[in-house]
Amino acid sequence: MSVQTGQKHIEGYNWSYARTNSKGEVILRHDTGEEIDSVLQYLDSLEEVTVEPRLKAHMLFIGFCGKKYSYYYTTGRWAERKKTGYPTKHYRSKNIKHFMTTYVLPLKEQLKDKMDKISSETYEDLEDLLKNINHVKENNTLILISKDGRKYKYRIGTGKWSAVYDNNSESPNYQSAGFEYFLMKYFPDTKKSEEELKEMGQEKEQPSLIGEQSSNRKGDFAEYYAVTWLWDNGYDVFKNCGCTGIIDMIAWDKENNKMIYIDVKTAQSDRRYKKKMFKIPRTKEQVELGVQILLFDPETRKLRFAEHKDDVS
């Protein structure tokens, strides 16, 4: 029986009536007709694919090339899994083979093409981009100095870069999609706005900070992004060199001669709200000292100070 709806019937899908929603729209359901044993057997035949079954939900977490997907094997619905929250949109596939061969497995070739392009970089290729940038070349590393005196290191042929601080210590290495992208996204003198990047089709190239990383490494990302964000906002920054303590760094507002004690936290999502929420309040000692929580969103790389309702008057 055919059901009249606004949704197109696509060849290879087995649509049937599921329900009518509150708006009076007919919702269709696609059934893959596959059993869990055959799905797992197929996935087991693929190299570099990881599987975490969630059988009560008829769902699998499937990992490949640093990405993880939720896949509902009875309906073919899938979404890329975000560690910072629940997916906002699900997509359809005909069955497990269609899902893997169409949406997942091609990632490896795409990543290989991207890395091949980065690995073929030479200093001669970058000379035009470097014409108006103060820089020094040391072997395959470029040391770039911005107009306001900040230093960055870029490793030619790897896409990796780091910030260099006044005491010559360095941030962790971050991955970019090549030198031109590094200049547009991160280097202060040539950095473009998000709107400009989107217009150029570059924003989608941003490497994710929410992949398979340890909690310590995620904390490193948050703190080093906090340092550069505070610099951009006119602060001098003094970082806690240890791994413990109630503050991560001190920011000095030179204009107002004011010190701000800062604890950097990675924003977390709550499925009930659109905004990313942070659920751990300040400790009593932090409240008494006036420590400010600086929230870092690993998905957008944006930061903001939290609004505290527990300030001591």
Report the chain's C-alpha Rg in angstroms. Answer: 24
72-99: average pLDDT: 84
Question: Highest mean pLDDT: which of 68-82, 195-209, 215-229?
Answer: 68-82
Domain 215-305's class? alpha beta
Q: pTM to 2 decimals?
A: 0.43
Distance CA 158, CA 117 (A): 10
One DSSP character per residue, 227-276 reads HHHHHHTTEEEEE--SS-SS-SEEEEETTTTEEEEEEEEE-EE-TT-SSE
**Strands lying side by side in the sheet with 235-239:** 235-239, 249-253, 258-266, 292-296, 303-305
**pLDDT-based confidence at 2, cuts 50/70/90?**
very low
Contact between 69 and 61 (Cβ < 8 Å):
yes
Distance CA 226, CA 263 (A): 10
Asked whether residue 278 carries a pLDDT value surpassing 60, the answer given is no
Q: Please tell me the predicted confidence (pLDDT) of residue 222.
A: 81
Alpha helices (runs of H) in the chain, residue ranges in sequence order = 36-44, 96-99, 106-119, 123-126, 179-185, 194-199, 215-232, 284-289
- Residue 235, token pair as written in the block: 């602060």
Q: Please report, for the chain, the start and end positions of each structural domain, with discontinuous segments joined by +.
A: 31-109, 123-205, 215-305
